[in-house]
Amino acid sequence: MKLEAFKDEYLPETVIDREKEKIGLKEYLENVLKGRIRAFYIHDPPEVGKTVVTKHVLNQFEDSFNSEVVYINSQRSTPNQALREVYNAIGGDVERRIPSRALVSAILRRTSHLL
């Protein structure tokens, strides 16, 4: 038995019976690129595949648009930790505790040319 399937990082090659969800997420990402929307909320009962579908679509997004996606499990991070992960992913270097407001400002400065 392959135990990789039980690890958080595991992502199957194909996602079955989630076409509606994948299409909705792809449409959202297209609207983000067009500047129409900036936030998206995904909800469903636990263990139905939200994370798997999201990661699957984001991987396709990265490949199609030559971009980098930062995935953060917000259940395992404080808001400040999540901001530090984003900042580090876009080329910053934060090791010490910095107030969240300062991190948001720094992220916006580093990405303002993308907006």
Give domain limits for the chain. Answer: 7-69, 75-115
Q: What does the pLDDT look like over 50-102, one tens digit per residue?
A: 888 888 888 888 888 777 777 787 777 888 888 888 888 888 887 677 888 99
Q: What does the pLDDT look like over 57-70, one tens digit per residue?
A: 888 888 887 777 77
3-state secondary structure 16-79: CCCHHHHHHHHHHHHHHHCCCCCCCCCCCCCCCCHHHHHHHHHHHHHHHHCCCCCCCCHHHCCH
Q: What does the pLDDT look like over 3-13, one tens digit per residue?
A: 665 566 677 77
